[in-house]
Structure 1
Amino acid sequence: MPYFTRRQLLILNELFLKDTLTSNELALLVDSSVRTIKTEISYIRTELKQYGIMIESKTNKGYTLIFTEKSSMNFLTNLLKSSKVKRLNKFKKNNYARIFFVIRRLLLEDSYIKLDELANEMFISRSSLNTDMIETKKILKKYQLTVKSKVNYGIKIQGTEMNKRLCIAEYFYHKDIGFDYKNDHGIPYLQENNDKYVQSIESQLRKICEEFNIILSDFSLKNIAIHVLISIHRNRMGNKITVPRSFIEKNYTKKAFQASQILCERLNAMFGCHFQEVDCAYIFMHFDSKQLINDVTSIKEKEQMEVNHVLEKIFVEIKNNFDIDISKDETLRTFLALHIPQMIKRIRINMVIRNPVVHENLQRYLYATKVTISATEIIQKHYNVEISLDEFGYLVLYFNVALRNLQKKRKITIGLMSGRGRAETIMYVDELNENFSKEKYELINFLSKEDMMKNIEDIDILLSSYPIELSRSILQVAIENGNYVEKIREYSNKIDLYKLDIDTYFQPQYSDFYLEGKDKESVLHNLMKKLQSLDIIDPDVQMDVPFVAHEIGNNILHLQDLYKICHKPFCFIVVLKNPIIWDKDIIRVLFMIKTKRDGDHKLNILCDMFSYWTRNKEKVNRLIHNKSYDLFLKDIQKY
């Protein structure tokens, strides 16, 4: 088997994938000079000749692989199928794959790693790695971790053991990243039996919770089980957690601490992990901050007063921004009053509950997401904290229930204008009452056109026996066309869409399918410049972070004009020229919805349209690959 360097493998792989490539094209692809390419080609020629593979060179055309034997193609196919070459190809195309690899690699080493060693493992140049390290450091900073460098030694991660464990949980257990390579460094986090360990730990957690009457959600149980498993691995590697003695003494007598002690005893017996008091304290922190509080008396009176004050400010803000009043929803008040103090406790001790369905919920409940953004701004300012996407996702569910309760109260008004006599009118009224329940619909039988015109603002759908010219646009259904019940039902299901002026919000100019930016700061800067060029944002506005952004899955970012710098209604859609890492997700598509005014009820239907579209991967990929605004507009109206 011939030996090839990473550069030679890259050249060979590119020639295998393409018919013909010039030395200039190859130089660009593998980040080398033309002279180096010619030298490398000469070496590859010599090595492959014995396997019946030639590299033909033609002036002004380039290099082409020629297979002189039947087995030659199979030989090269198998060579390039190796995990090493797969990794090479993956890292060459995607810088985010390299960044995730570096994070994982650094998390596993306590000693320094040389940059050249990392670059060679990823088959990239040192300059490419230096660029990747900028983004790597930004990601690690979110976990309060830094990269320490030492001349002639290399780099390593620096930070508390607790923060390292949080990062390990995210990048080994929650991130779906396949590198197709075997563990060359004694990595315990990738063992196949980890799932079995987690299940065993979960089983013990459930028993402990039953014994001590601690209520945990399924998500919290899984989350704590993963952190316990990480603790077992880290302890065996000599990476001990540290907890202040004063913290242990303060909480030693609490029920959750006693539960942690019993759990540690059982885990020691099961796995021989030698958990000590400090490990009990660490597990207690998870129990204490992640348990569900069902009784407001469990919260200190001062905290109750504080959270009630915050809730009042939230309801006022939502009323001002969306013209909806959810302050009278006692269920929402009760659950937020129980949830927020626990959430603040978790944030302050850096105990995040991973939310595995956060993206799905943010896509599904987009209108609630917008409302929650306003609420979180109030919470963050008051408590001086930053709410993570995981925690944000749980808040969305509370507000979505409140919004659903409001929608249940809304009725669709059907106006009946019949000119066919009393008997037929009675028949129509009876048929309408039979098909449309009074819980969702209100039926008004108008005796005259004048009476109907006086109440025209209250009508959603007009059913008439003859065409009527109206002063405002109303959905009309003609009795004479037949099947009017089905037509009313069709309009009712999408009444807001039928009322929506599509051209106001959707125009080709409200798109950019090649927006540039190497990181989120430059993307936001370039987007703001684009909106300024369209006279949507005043040219004198200068902001480093002009919009609030949330990842919602499927490589999509939702932007909100929380600071009200946009002064036109629009729905803007963006495809990035190159995908980038935002916070945790890889982002390819951005969108923003801006209605005519705060509290515009068109916002709900626009959110529904984008909600259905973002959940359809096929439609999202169609936009990314085709970059057609007309096709996007057709897709987003089909829901």
Structure 2
Amino acid sequence: MLQSREKKIIEILLDSQSPVRIIDLAVQLNVSKRTISNSINHLKTCLSEYGATLVSKQSLGIWLELQEDIDEFRSRIFNDVCIEEDDHNRWSTIAQNLLEINESRTIDDIAESFYLSNSAVYRELVKIEKFLEKYSIVLKRKPKLGIHVEGSETNIRIAKAELIKFRSGELITTSLLKDLTDYFPNTLLEPIIASVQTIQQNNDISLSYIAMKGLIIHLAITVNRVNKNKRVVLEMKDLEFLSMQKEWTIAQKLVQELNHNLDTSLDDEECGYITIHLMGANLSKTVEAPQSVKLIDIELYEKIEKIVGSLSDKINIPFIEDEYFMSVLFLHIKPMINRLKNGISLHNPFIGNIKEEHPLMFELSAEFSRKLSDQFNVEMNDDEVGYIAMHFGGAFERARKLEQRKLKVILVCASGIGTVMFLKAKLENLFPEFEIVGEVSSFKLNIEKHQIDYDLIISTIPLDIQGEPIAYISPILTERDISKINLRKSQVDNTRGSKLIPLLHESISVFDEKVQDQNDAISILSNIMFKQGFVDHEYRDSCLLREELSSTFIGNMVAIPHAYHGHVLNQGIGLLVSKKPFDWNGAKVQLVFALAIDLKSSQDFGDIANEIITLVNQVDVLDKLFQTKDLRSFKKFIK
């Protein structure tokens, strides 16, 4: 089994018309010559099983001699799962391998392939079993034969795709090929990408970079599995339902393109499987008027409207009156529900920034998501809540008064309408000089930029463009991003005093406490805060329910548990400093702030959360806080 670096070396050698020197490989892969030499030595010993020989001559360089057709060799090499150098992701690599093969593998075999001890393999299998359970896939063990996976073809494909998204999720480059070249051969990726782009162009639809990447992954897995005679099986009633959806026609055209370009044989059931994925993507090119959007699914729109209306009333922000927000939120939620019901999720590479820099919008979205989950019986994780938070964030920014804009800006985003809406609203609010004159995908920028009068391009992804005024930022628009835009604007009002300290009270503070886990910590603080009249008797259960959706651990041994809306009688913050770090949903925690803050004070909630997050990033201060024995000392260190 090959490492990802070794596959890259093979790719370079296959593409070269002449021998390649070790120094040139080292430069291209940004590693030392010694590292390349070690990889070459390993390749020499293992390439024979792929029908190839690696030849090296000091005066010439290195080249490959193949015993079979080059395309067959590429397919065998790049369909094999590579070993990741990152131990953190090792379980996912082993899982990918088990999902790919048809036979059982012994523990000894796995240990030898991945250079692990048997005990290390057993530890990785615990993680793998937990992951596979989410997709109704079972890890079966048979004495003397080893282990293998059992599950439906559909679930196996979805699990394989989720593993690839997990390992490549935060990677956004100028090219989908660069993103996925470690997982599929270019001879497979290039025709698939071309087919999808043709379908987009001919049918006037638009996929965000992230949505397109997800679709490409699923299509590549589909073609690989079909070529190995591993096909999905759909019930007739499901196939009939799918054939009546508007996405079916697009899927049929895509199947025709793939069958022609890759000489494969995708049938109607595979067309249905692709339809499911298209139903989980937002294919809309533009945002329609609210009344037109509502007609797509009146029942769903009205349910979303009801939830948003209740949240608007609770926090005194008129989200329900923002027609653009209601339209794009609906267009995000409808395919999201289809995705989640079919076990397909989106990775959110910006979730850390969203939770850290927009805590109020994340909490609001968490409550929205809980209500939505209850109504549609779907499970939503942090990634999904984060995308919804970006929609709420855009509406929140837009609720602030916008001033005159002058600088003409084109926005290029990877994550679709939600990201564009959020980023556009925040830019216009922070920089009244801006006029957003275009929002385009990276695929269409070269065409559309010649048709638009603009001064600046602001992009959330790398662009293959030279000599243009481009500011590269994250979709969350951090303070670092603002400095990149080179405008002398200040983000923080340094004159504002602390809103955290006045809410800390001796009567609801606990120091030097022995704590078992997060449930114990929440119970201790909830009981004290209830007795002191800060919260009602349901506050504890609401905190635990909120914890089930998404951990309130925010890093550096700090957590901020809180209830869903309500349950606050008087505003305050319960404080717990434990004797020793304790378990909090798999993380270690020693300092807990239990928030009892009315969400109607939305600005206060955001300011307090940001103040705590700033504190979390000051490790030297935290070390002192962990040692405090009373509230007076605690307050002294955070002033």
TM-score by length of 2: 0.57
| Distance change >3 Å, CA 310–CA 512, structure 1 → 2 | farther
- Aligned mates of 1:102, 1:266 — CA distance in 2: 33
Partner of 1:337: 330
Partner of 2:550: 550
- Alpha-carbon distance, 1:135 to partner: 3.8
1:378 aligns with 2:379: no
**Given the alignment, which residue of 296, 305, 309 partners 1:311?**
305
**Given the alignment, which residue of 340, 360, 369 partners 1:367?**
360
- Alpha-carbon distance, 1:597 to partner: 3.8
- Alpha-carbon distance, 1:387 to partner: 1.9
1:395 aligns with 2:410: no
| Distance change >3 Å, CA 587–CA 252, structure 1 → 2 | farther
- Aligned mates of 1:602, 1:143 — CA distance in 2: 41
Partner of 2:522: 528
Contact 1:326-1:402 within 8 A present in 2 as well: yes
**Given the alignment, which residue of 239, 245, 249 partners 1:258?**
249
* Alignment RMSD (CA, Å): 5.4
- Aligned mates of 1:523, 1:124 — CA distance in 2: 32
- Alpha-carbon distance, 1:392 to partner: 2.0
Partner of 1:269: 260
| 1:161-185 deviation digits (Å, cap 9, x = unpaired) | 222222212223432599xxxxxxx
- Aligned mates of 2:336, 2:169 — CA distance in 1: 29
| 1:228-260 deviation digits (Å, cap 9, x = unpaired) | 111122223332222233333344365532322
Contact 2:554-2:560 within 8 A present in 1 as well: no
Partner of 1:432: none
Contact 2:358-2:606 within 8 A present in 1 as well: no
- Alpha-carbon distance, 1:111 to partner: 1.8
Give SS of 2:393's match. Answer: helix
- Aligned mates of 2:208, 2:222 — CA distance in 1: 21
Which aligned pairs between 1:432-511 and structure 2 lie closer than 5 A?
Answer: 493-494=492-493, 497-502=496-501, 504=503
Q: Supply the AA of the counterpart residue of 1:326.
A: F
1:351 aligns with 2:350: no
| Distance change >3 Å, CA 492–CA 221, structure 1 → 2 | closer
Contact 1:548-1:560 within 8 A present in 2 as well: no
Contact 1:515-1:523 within 8 A present in 2 as well: no
| Distance change >3 Å, CA 249–CA 256, structure 1 → 2 | same
1:279 aligns with 2:270: yes
- Alpha-carbon distance, 1:603 to partner: 1.0
Contact 1:307-1:340 within 8 A present in 2 as well: no
1:216 aligns with 2:207: yes
Which aligned pairs between 1:559-574 and structure 2 lie closer than 5 A?
Answer: 560-563=561-564, 568-570=572-574
Which aligned pairs between 1:47-86 and structure 2 lie closer than 5 A?
Answer: none
- Alpha-carbon distance, 1:208 to partner: 0.5
1:606 aligns with 2:598: no
| Distance change >3 Å, CA 270–CA 206, structure 1 → 2 | same
Q: Supply the AA of the counterpart residue of 2:362.
A: T
Partner of 1:165: 157
Give SS of 1:156's match. Answer: strand
Q: Supply the AA of the counterpart residue of 2:373.
A: Q
Give SS of 2:140's match. Answer: strand
| Distance change >3 Å, CA 273–CA 253, structure 1 → 2 | same
- Aligned mates of 2:579, 2:396 — CA distance in 1: 31
Contact 1:88-1:123 within 8 A present in 2 as well: no
Partner of 1:460: none
Radius of gyration: which is bigger? 1
- Aligned mates of 1:256, 1:88 — CA distance in 2: 37
Q: Supply the AA of the counterpart residue of 1:387.
A: M
Contact 1:496-1:602 within 8 A present in 2 as well: no
Q: Supply the AA of the counterpart residue of 1:330.
A: E
**Given the alignment, which residue of 84, 92, 104 partners 1:100?**
92
Q: Supply the AA of the counterpart residue of 1:262.
A: K
- Alpha-carbon distance, 1:532 to partner: 6.5
TM-score by length of 1: 0.57
Give SS of 1:147's match. Answer: strand
| Distance change >3 Å, CA 595–CA 492, structure 1 → 2 | farther
| Distance change >3 Å, CA 550–CA 114, structure 1 → 2 | same
The number of residue pairs the alignment matches comes to 454
